[in-house]
Amino acid sequence: MTAWRRAALAAGAAGAFATGTAPAWAFDQAAFVRLSAGITQAETLRANGEIGLGSGVVVAPGRVVTNCHVTRDALSIQVARGGDRMAVLGQAADVEHDLCLLDVPGLPNAPVTIGDARSLRVGDAVMALGFTGGFGLRRSAGQVVALHPLHGAPVIQSSNLFNSGASGGGLFDEQGRLVGILTFRMRGSGANYYSVPVDWLAPSLAGQARFAAVAPLAADAQPFWQRAPEVQPAFLQAARLAQGQQWQELFELASRWTRDAAADPTSWYSLGLAAEALNREPEALASYERAVSVDPRHAQGWLRLGMLSAHLGFAQRARQALAALQPLSDDLARQLASRLGTP
């Protein structure tokens, strides 16, 4: 295997589901001020006396949503903004989806506008708002890099930077609608930031929430992304195997995944990445072709398709991949253009 192919596969593994850097997005100060009014900090008092910090989003009058992993060990919870603090009287926990709805009577903050994660497309601009670092409210511009179907709505993978203090914060689309709740980051390079879809809140917002007094949640209750690796969703298993360059294991997983979820482009991309690393080039090429046919905006699929086509001498197909990639990601298009010797 040539040096450039080793480097390309390493990059594909590190950012296996990324599309490159975020595009510029004119998110003006007025929009920031308007949306930030709906973002709070969640402060928890734990049994060991420690204070925990996260973020929350006002989704209905007197209702704030945050991640259950923020409130999991809480004896009491307050929502705060600036110097103002209000006690949480109860919470409705959907631990599997990592969404806890907090009851905060008298909360003066107006709710944000609720959107629909199912309306998103790869490449869409999104804005993350949360208390990154546990201090001031911060915004991070990015884009959707992958949509992973789960339980009727997509888990959103994006390039917006955030850390644990922002857990429970909001991911907004270009119209300022809440589409996701900032939830977790996978270790490693690349755009490995994940938000759970706001769609999962629909039953609670429709009046089906069952509030209980604030108390530590069951110790054995774990959200989907914190469970044992073998029972996590396929997209998380695949991402970990790709990062670890466990190509044979990834090939076997992706082969099953494509049979079970042929309409998920990430399953085909994962199969292509593993097949290419295992020197099964015809299978890799066919898998990348399938990924971009399922989702023509799958930028990493176009990049790998173009790179492998060039390696195999299919110059016209490589140029076609470059043409498809250029409107999707400047960075990835430059990588492919450099490989093709195209200015």
At position 193, the amino acid (one-letter code) is: Y
Q: What is the pLDDT of residue 100?
A: 97
Radius of gyration of the chain (CA): 21
Token pair, residue 180, equals 């996701």
Q: What is the pLDDT of residue 325?
A: 94
End-to-end CA distance of the chain: 26
Q: What is the pLDDT of residue 5?
A: 55
Please report the sign of the dihedral spanned by the C-alpha atoms of residue 229, residue 234, residue 235, residue 240. positive
Q: Tell whether pTM > 0.85.
A: yes
CA-angle at 209, arms to 167 and 112, nearest 5°: 50
* Phi and psi torsions of 214, nearest 5°: -65, 125
Q: What is the pLDDT of residue 22?
A: 43
Beta bridge partners of 194: 157, 184
Q: What is the pLDDT of residue 342?
A: 78
Query: CATH 2.40.10.10 occupies which residues in the chain?
Result: 39-111+204-222, 113-198
Report the C-alpha gap between 284 and 117 in whole angstroms. 30
Task: Give, as one character, the DSSP assignment of residue 119.
Answer: G
Q: What is the pLDDT of residue 48?
A: 87
- For residues 4-20, one letter each, b for 16 or more C-beta atoms within 10 angstroms of the residue's C-beta and e for the rest, the string is eeeebbebbbebbbbbb
Among 151, 143, 122, residue whose Cα is nearest residue 291: 122
Inter-residue contact 178 to 126 (CB < 8 Å): no
Inter-residue contact 75 to 216 (CB < 8 Å): yes
* Phi and psi torsions of 233, nearest 5°: -55, 155
DSSP 195-240: EEEGGGGHHIIIII---B-S-PPPTT---GGGS-GGGS-HHHHHHH
Inter-residue contact 238 to 254 (CB < 8 Å): yes
Edge-to-edge strand list for the sheet holding 39-46: 84-87, 74-81, 39-46, 51-60, 63-66, 99-103, 90-94
Q: What is the pLDDT of residue 26?
A: 53
Pick the CATH number of 3-10+227-340 from 3.40.50.1390, 3.30.1330.10, 1.10.240.10, 1.25.40.10: 1.25.40.10
* Phi and psi torsions of 210, nearest 5°: -115, 105
**Fold topology of 113-198:** Thrombin, subunit H (2.40.10)
| DSSP three-state, residue 326 | coil
Q: What is the pLDDT of residue 20?
A: 42
CA-angle at 223, arms to 254 and 15, nearest 5°: 40
CA-to-CA dists, residue 254 to 90, 104, 189, 275, angstroms? 42, 44, 21, 10
Q: What is the pLDDT of residue 60?
A: 96
Query: CATH 1.25.40.10 occupies which residues in the chain?
Result: 3-10+227-340
| DSSP three-state, residue 288 | helix
Q: What is the pLDDT of residue 11?
A: 53
At the top level of CATH, the class of 39-111+204-222 is mainly beta
Strand ranges (DSSP E) for the chain? 39-46, 51-60, 63-66, 74-81, 84-87, 90-94, 99-103, 125-130, 138-150, 153-158, 170-172, 178-185, 193-197
Q: What is the pLDDT of residue 10?
A: 52
Ranges under pLDDT 70 in the chain: 1-27, 134, 188-191, 343
